[in-house]
């Protein structure tokens, strides 16, 4: 059984993953409207992954005798300055999510809820991957600078990356 406190924290995280899904979807829409096909495919896919993260938590809570909540979403920005700004925001967002998961893990350990702690280890591993990927994309963009050919190739590379399997 989940304690009330852990249930509440997991519901916060369900809302956070759902918000991440909506956020990346808003970014995908901007990218598609601005002709960045690779980036938009990458973001559509990233949005799907976040929904999967949300559902995984959702089922865990209900399967453990808790109650999963569905919360209303806010509206996310439809305007972005550049690809660079989008990737920066992804990295910032993922670092924030890592902090949220750490907070829940901390609470689990204090309560000796080892089952939830064990379940959350998957999320911690996933966060390492997501932060590393966002950081590497940002590093590439910094190298490319204002080079149009480099930006074209970057968008093509993201298209390829989007064909990889969803986790
Ligand atoms: Fe599900 Fe990217 O955090």
Nearest to 89 by CA among 106, 76, 71, 101: 76
pLDDT digits (tens, 9 = 90+) for 24-44: 999 999 999 999 999 999 999
What is the predicted pLDDT for the residue at 161? 86
Binning pLDDT at 50, 70 and 90, where does residue 57 land?
very high
Q: What is the sign of the dihedral through the CA atoms of 33, 131, 118 and 70? A: negative
Residue 54 CA to residue 18 CA, distance in Å, equals 6
- The half-sphere exposure of 141 on its side-chain side, counting CA atoms within 13 A, is 16
Percent of the chain at pLDDT above 70? 98
What is the predicted pLDDT for the residue at 149? 95
What is the predicted pLDDT for the residue at 37? 96
Q: Say how many Å lie between the CA of residue 147 and the centre of ligand 1.
A: 30
Structure tokens of 26?
């808003």
pLDDT digits (tens, 9 = 90+) for 120-149: 999 999 999 999 999 999 999 999 998 999
Q: Using a 6 Å CB cutoff, which residues line ligand 1?
A: 17, 20, 50, 53, 94, 97, 130
Structural domain 4-161, CATH architecture: Up-down Bundle (1.20)
What is the predicted pLDDT for the residue at 166? 54
118 near 63, Cβ under 8 Å? no
Atom of ligand 1 nearest to the CA of 54: 1
Structure tokens of 24?
């990346």
> 147 φ, ψ to 5°?
-70, 115
Structure tokens of 155?
């968008």
Q: Say how many Å lie between the CA of residue 149 and the centre of ligand 1.
A: 31
Structure tokens of 139?
């590093």
Structure tokens of 144?
């490319």
Instruction: Kindly tell me if the per-residue pLDDT of 8 is higher than 90.
Output: yes
């Amino acid at each position: 059984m989940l304690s009330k406190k852990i249930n509440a924290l997991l519901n916060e995280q369900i809302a956070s993953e759902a918000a991440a899904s909506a956020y990346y979807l808003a970014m995908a829409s901007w990218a598609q409207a601005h002709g960045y096909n690779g980036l938009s495919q990458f973001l559509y896919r990233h949005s799907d992954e976040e929904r999967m993260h949300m559902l995984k938590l959702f089922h865990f809570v209900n399967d453990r005798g808790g109650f999963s909540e569905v919360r209303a979403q806010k509206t996310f920005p439809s305007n972005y300055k550049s690809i660079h700004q989008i990737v920066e925001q992804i990295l910032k967002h993922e670092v924030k999510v890592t902090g949220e998961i750490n907070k829940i893990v901390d609470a689990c350990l204090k309560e000796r809820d080892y089952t939830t702690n064990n379940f959350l280890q998957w999320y911690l591993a996933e966060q390492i991957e997501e932060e590393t990927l966002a950081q590497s994309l940002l590093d590439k963009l910094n190298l490319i600078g204002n080079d149009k050919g480099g930006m074209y190739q970057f968008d093509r590379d993201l298209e390829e990356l989007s064909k990889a399997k969803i986790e």
